[in-house]
Structure 1
Amino acid sequence: MLTKPLFFLRPLTLILAGLCTAPFAQAEPTHGIAMYGTPALPPDFVSLPYANPDAPKGGRIVTGESGSFDSLNPHILKGNVPWALRFLAYESLMGRSWDEPFTLYGLLAESIEVGPDREWAEFTLREGARFSDGTPVTVEDVMWSYETLGTVGHPRYRGTWDKIAAMEKTGPRGIRFTFNEANRELALIIGMRPILKKAQWEGLDFADSGLDVIPISTAPYVIDAYEAGRYVSLKRNPDYWGNDLPFRRGTNNFDEIRMEFYGDGAVAFEAFKAGEVSTFREFNAEKWETQYNFPAVERGDVVKSVIPHERPTGMTGFVMNTRRPQFEDWRVRSAMIHAFNFEFINQALTGGRQPRIASYFSNSVLGMKDGPATDEVRALLEPFAEELPPGAIDGYALPVSDGSARNRSNIAKALDLMEQAGWTVQNGRLADATGTPFTFDILLQSADTESQSIIDIYLKALERLGISASVTSVDSAQFESRLQDFDFDMTYYRRGVSLSPGNELFLYWGQDSATSTGSSNLMGVASPAVDAMIREILTSESNDGFVAATRALDRILTAGRYVIPIYQFNISRVAHAKELKFPDALPIYGDWIGWQPDVWWYED
């Protein structure tokens, strides 16, 4: 097994320590911008620190994807799109370094300038920036992209558009955005929107597009071929305009990136074993140890790489939809968590090898601390004490079982919580005062065999509570459609978070997003305290204040008991063909968006 040592990661504690006293002001155009302090890389940097500027070009990488797709436009709500297109096939004014908590460097824009309080941000486009058809990127293209995405694009873009008071052309290559609220992150967020070609969409309905239009962009890769639901092939553009940019040196090394689609993860794994797929991420620790002994591994044709990281766990598990009456009461949600016998499930499915997520920002300096809240975290929470879920201030931790199948103590606690919420055992079934049974449905993707295995064990535990839950398995398109409409009782949930959380938190957990179709607020949390903590995160003028606000938010969400947490992925397990290489230096985010395939290469 090839394991990349931890010392190749720059210690995050040192990075954050350097931000506490760094200046915020930015009085003139510069090559980059950091959320706190100044960018780590100088204007004349050679390449990103985790890229190999001497990496060879050529070869291809083939990934195995589960499910299907019926659209090639990742910027609208309609359709099911290959997830990677959003990141591989488009560029923005600035690009993100994954070796810093949140820092951007010039990409389509050669510089950024901000006001004293970041009340505005002005970008200057690079003179040589080009679309794949050879036409120049203009200020008009940028302005059209921002307005279109902000008004008819995916909901993820609309929140930022609503915060723009003015967008104006300031010169042949200059554009300024003025914001209508105090929000230090907006200057960075605005630099990360995809830029599309205005002329391509004249006379077309952007919001209703699917497979009929392949959007023209400026990215190093263009969609070369596809078959609906089967595969997408991206080819490296030999005339890509940005090959010599420092931000791009050592990246985009493959001639082809191909995404092959399979019915489920098990089929994709068999395709990898057969050599049809050249890289595969494994999320099951037990499977990694026991099922990666097939001939290609034994011959050395497939390499097993373990990639460490310092990013937060985020939240993975099964989310309860509080819009449904069954899950309005926190005591019911707590009962569902007590009935979920994680220790037994973990032993049965991973041999006990996979640690559990403790909170939304666990595994990082942003995660809540054990026990009661103290100091600045407590001061932030106390004004909302009456509305906060139990444990947010005084301390909350997930229940732990004895590891046995029956989980007697936690089942007893779950029954007690359900009784407090008005549900009692009647003729062997939990029911309310009118005799109506407590029941709910769990929505899963048919391709998600891992979740199905977990839920099969969970259903038996629910039976011990007197609950008869059902499971509905649908294809990926139906699954996404139902999530967008919040049409579920309980479902699988995965929400990644960064080391510099910000405006996206409103989309994940803000009050407005609770009723906004297509938002990521699947649990339906609508809490003034949550919104207040997000605003504190966005307006904090010190790293200490930012960390305290994030820890306070973590406490509210975790104590809200909205999700039944499962495994944390504190390392990544990536098996790949021996010809696929990556640099020894790893970013602090590890195996994250913008690492594979961006800085990998092919070498015989």
Structure 2
Amino acid sequence: MRRRLALALSLALAPICGGAGAEPTHGLAMHGAPALAPDFDHLPYADPAAPKGGRLVLGELGGFDSLNPYILKGRSVWAVRGLMVESLLARSWDEPFTLYGQLAGRVETPPDRSWVEFELREEARFSDGSPVTLEDVIWSMEVLAEKGLPGFRSSWDKVSRTEVTGPRSVRFHFDAPDREMPLIIGLRPILKKAAFEGRDFAESSMEPLVTSGPYVVESAEPGRRVVFRKDPDWWGADLPLNAGLWNLDEIRYEWFKDESARFEAFRAGDIDVFRDGDPDRWAEGYGFPAAERGDVTRAEIPHQRPSGLTGFVFNTRRDLFKDVRVRRALAEAFDFEWINNTLNRGAYARIRSPFGGTPLGFEGAAEGAEREILAPFADDLPEGALGSDFAWPETDGEGRSRRNLRKAARLLAEAGWQIQNGVLMGPERKRFRFEILLSGPAWEPAAQVFAKSLSVLGIQATVRLVDGAQYQARRSDYDYDMIVNTWAMSLSPGNEQRFYWGREGVTAPGTRNYPGVDSPAAEAAIDALLAAEDPADFQAAARALDRVLTTGIYVIPLWHAPTSRIAYWKGLGYPERLPLYGDWSGWLPDVWWRAE
């Protein structure tokens, strides 16, 4: 009886308060309105007239033993996400963060975004022909939170209740207004519930998922290859959102043990596309006959996304790295210019900050709304953090940075470290020594050079390579002194920043707060980021977070490429109009075609 009364009351009040200020729409933007009108006919970076058919072969490194990319167990095939799985809404990669209807034809949310409602398209189908139902939607949300990757749980915890509001519509209520949560829910993968009857979702498996996307798994050999075949009955082929996308009949992924083997396969024509991150090879490695006769094209694809953050990560949970002066000293000892010239032909730019190169990156002194966010925490921030003087150390690139090393020695002395008989010693005669943990050889040359430069200061830094499984386990438990890590950043930072830098991650395992950032200022900046309704306030909050992370010297940044270098074989093509994010999710293989 109580439940019936509650239901009657909610139905009676719904016209009064449930949808106040909300209007159904075809899309949803983080800030402002979607750029595309309700009657748009294709995404601006897709070509509806693109040739259809043909096969594309891509190369991957390592191996795999699972076709479920949403769980912790197993090594998964990440291409499953883009080629097979759909969500209620889908991104346009030509806008910072805007979603348009995919499985859902309509989305509705009030101005404060305290809830979001989706209406499923009646024609939406899984690859086996069965309809996508509200039961599938709700089950997908719940099982991902319960048994999926940790990030699913952290955001699902903000959903206070789920309400079925019509035959094909469902509303998700949030425990507090959050501008990003409607978009996060809209991007959740939708899977078929019935396909997991009698199976544990968390168990790794080579059984393909039953999904609603454009491709299905035709065949898979663990550790060797996966062949995706275009579903001829794909329900979404005629949606304007998909016009000019998914042009290929077959997309095949081949796995290789290392980068050299993958490049040799490309030279031989066994794979069609090669993303080249080696400046030496890009400059001198394309003298083989096929390239010389024009059968191979090389292209540099620009983008407008942030640099992101890649670098040597201090684990500030360790007493050794708690003092920012120590971290600054080691940053002084890192000769970026010499390493970039020696290892990369000077081809890359140094990362300045996580959101560097965009309006979200901090510049000069903190002013206006940015200063208002950080001012209450000024005493907790490093000296000068709110000013305009911060800059990463620079050298002449000759490999003899004596000035920088002298500055590093002074900072270490201020922090209580002194050289005794060539060894840096601290309080209680503790020697300054630590380990740089790596999972593969990619960053080993830079790490070895860094370790050697630190020896001049009396610091013993050792470089240790471990296998992938051990590395993942130690990284998840924060069992390291220093690692190299990459945080890719978008133009629409949001809830994931809490997962990257939130205080909970100082002790809770499995987050991406690898430095152990424990900063009230960072928390305030993330709060402001998630609450911002105006683009100017959003930018100010992002700059505040960018400033805290950078001036705190939690990471010694390495380099990034402002363009992507891609080589591909004759017959392949893509639209001249590039998306805002460039070579990123949603571009390759999404809008590519084979002309012959």
User: Where on the TM-score scale, by shorter chain, does this alignment land: which range?
Assistant: over 0.9
Q: Does 1:488 align with 2:461?
A: no
Instruction: Report SS of the residue matched to 1:385.
Output: helix
Alignment partner, residue 540 of structure 1: 532
Distance 1:64 1:351, change over 3 A: same
Shift of 1:599: 0.6
Is contact 1:69–1:477 with CA below 8 Å preserved after alignment?
no
1:312: which partner in 2? 306
Q: Distance in 2 between matches of 1:84 and 1:420?
A: 50
> Amino acid of the residue matched to residue 301 of structure 1?
D
Instruction: State the match for 1:379 in structure 2.
Output: 372
Instruction: Give 1:286 shift.
Output: 4.0
Q: 1:509-588 maps to which residues of 2 (within 5 A)?
A: 509-588=501-580
Q: 1:545-570 CA deviation, whole Å, 9 max, x = no partner? A: 11111111100000111111111221
Instruction: After TM superposition, give the deviation of residue 334 of structure 1 in Å.
Output: 1.4
Question: What is aligned with 2:12?
Answer: none
Counterpart contact for 2:451–2:463, Cα < 8 Å: no
| Cα distance between partner residues in 2 of 1:518 and 1:602 | 41
Aligned partner of 2:158 in structure 1 is 163
Relative distance call for 1:69 and 1:212 in structure 2 (3 A) is closer
Q: Structure 1: how far apart are the matches of 2:484 and 2:59?
A: 20
2:589 to 597, 600, 603: 597
Q: Secondary structure at the match of 2:460?
A: coil
What whole-Å deviation, never above 9, does each CA across 1:221-279 have from its counterpart, x for those lacking one? 22222222222222221221100011111111122222222222232222222222211
In structure 1, give the amino acid aligned to 2:368. D
Distance of 1:60 and 1:515 partners within structure 2: 47
Supply the distance in 1 between the matched residues of 2:228 and 2:506 (Cα, whole angstroms): 36
Per the alignment, residue 213 of structure 2 pairs with 219
Evaluate the alpha carbon distance shift between residue 504 and residue 442 of structure 1 in structure 2; reply closer, same or farther with a 3 A threshold. same
Q: TM-score, normalised by structure 1?
A: 0.92
Partner deviation per Cα, 1:517-542 (whole Å, 9 max, x = no partner):
22221112122211111111111121
Greater displacement, 386-395 / 537-546: 386-395
CA contact (8 A) 1:62 1:257 kept: yes
CA 1:424 to 1:96, structure 2 compared with 1: closer, same or farther past 3 Å?
same
Amino acid in structure 1 at the alignment position of 2:484:
Y
Question: Displacement of 1:598 after TM fit?
Answer: 0.5
Choose which of 470, 479, 497 in structure 1 pairs with 2:489.
Answer: 497
1:43 aligns with 2:38: yes
User: For residues 221 and 325 of structure 1, do their structure 2 counterparts lie closer, same or farther at Cα, with a shift above 3 Å needed?
Assistant: farther
Matched to 2:102, the amino acid is L
For 1:131 and 1:158, how far apart are their aligned partners in 2? 25
Contact 2:71 2:204 in 1 (8 A): no
SS at match of 1:470: strand
Q: Aligned partners of 2:149, 2:114: CA distance in 1, in Å?
A: 25
Partner-residue secondary structure (3-state), 1:134: coil
Distance in 1 (CA, whole Å) between partners of 2:184 and 2:482 is 31
State the distance in 2 between where 1:66 and 1:389 align: 41
- Asked whether the 8 Å contact 2:65–2:206 carries over to 1, the reply is no
Distance 1:471 1:84 in 2: 32
AA matched with 1:271: A
Q: Output the CA distance in 1 between the equivalents of 2:61 and 2:470.
A: 14
* Shift of residue 324, structure 1, vs aligned partner: 2.4
Distance 1:468 1:311, change over 3 A: same
CA distance in 2, matches of 1:82, 1:431: 47
Letter aligned with residue 169 of structure 1: V
**Could you say what secondary structure the match of 2:144 adopts?**
helix
**Where in structure 2 are the equivalents of 1:2-21 lying within 5 Å?**
none
After TM superposition, the runs of 4+ consecutive aligned structure 1 residues lying more than 6 A away are none
Note the C-alpha offset of 1:179: 0.8
Give the counterpart of 1:141 among 136, 145, 168.
136
Answer with 346-355 or 258-267: which moved more. Answer: 258-267
Partner of 1:404: 398
> What residue identity is the alignment partner of 2:379?
E
State TM-score, norm by structure 2: 0.93
What is the CA deviation profile of residues 155-207 of structure 1, one whole-angstrom value per residue up to 9, with x for unaligned ones? 11112111111111111211100111121111111100001111111222212
- 5+ residue gaps in structure 1? 1-24
Q: 2:173 aligns with which of 174, 178, 195?
A: 178
Task: Tell me by how many angstroms 1:213 deviates.
Answer: 3.2
Identity within the alignment, %: 52
Pair 1:213–1:517, CA change in 2 (3 A): farther
Aligned mates of 1:452, 1:295 — CA distance in 2: 32
User: Do the aligned residues in 2 keep the contact of 1:319 with 1:491 (CA within 8 Å)?
Assistant: yes
Structure 2 stretches lacking a partner, 5+ long: 1-19
Equivalent position to 1:388, from 367, 381, 393? 381
Question: Against the structure 1 CA distance between its residues 216 and 389, is the aligned structure 2 distance closer, same or farther, given a 3 Å change threshold?
Answer: farther
